[in-house]
Amino acid sequence: ETGVTQSPTHLIKTRGQQVTLRCSSQSGHNTVSWYQQALGQGPQFIFQYYREEENGRGNFPPRFSGLQFPNYSSELNVNALELDDSALYLCASSSQLSANTNTGELFFGEGSRLTVL
């Protein structure tokens, strides 16, 4: 069973640019969530995708957007990058078969560290 993988692991962008981060969910998982973790803070929920649709969103502006593909992999896109977008971006997957089988356990990847200059 493969775990959650993210790419790239590190990248540097400049203000105003756009970035796409990628995530492959753990085998058998159909839900993907994205989190932003600034230095010294806990992860903050950005949004999640289930069955290729966004079905939950945290307090992030519309320039943070995403996609989920039929194979459950996902992308996070951030437009018009700002200095404060510098952070570790974490992807987490889980299985959402039913309320009875949803234990709420998330499996996280190692993250993509974005630096905005």
Partner 1 sequence: DAKTTQPTSMDCAEGRAANLPCNHSTISGNEYVYWYRQIHSQGPQYIIHGLKNNETNEMASLIITEDRKSSTLILPHATLRDTAVYYCIVRVVRIGNNDMRFGAGTRLTVKP
> Beta strands 112-116 and 10-13: pairing type?
parallel
Q: Does 76 bind partner 1 (CB under 8 A)?
A: no
Choice from 39, 42, 62, 84 touching partner 1 (CB under 8 A): 42
Q: What residues between 55 and 74 interact with partner 1 by CB under 8 A?
A: 55-56, 58
Q: Does 18 bind partner 1 (CB under 8 A)?
A: no
Q: Please state the closest distance from residue 81 (CB atom) to partner 1, in A.
A: 22
Q: Does 44 bind partner 1 (CB under 8 A)?
A: yes
SS (H, E, C) 35-90: EEECCCCCCEEEEEEECCEEEEECCCCCCEEEEECCCCCEEEEECCCCHHHCEEEE
C-beta closer to partner 1: residue 53 or 84? 53
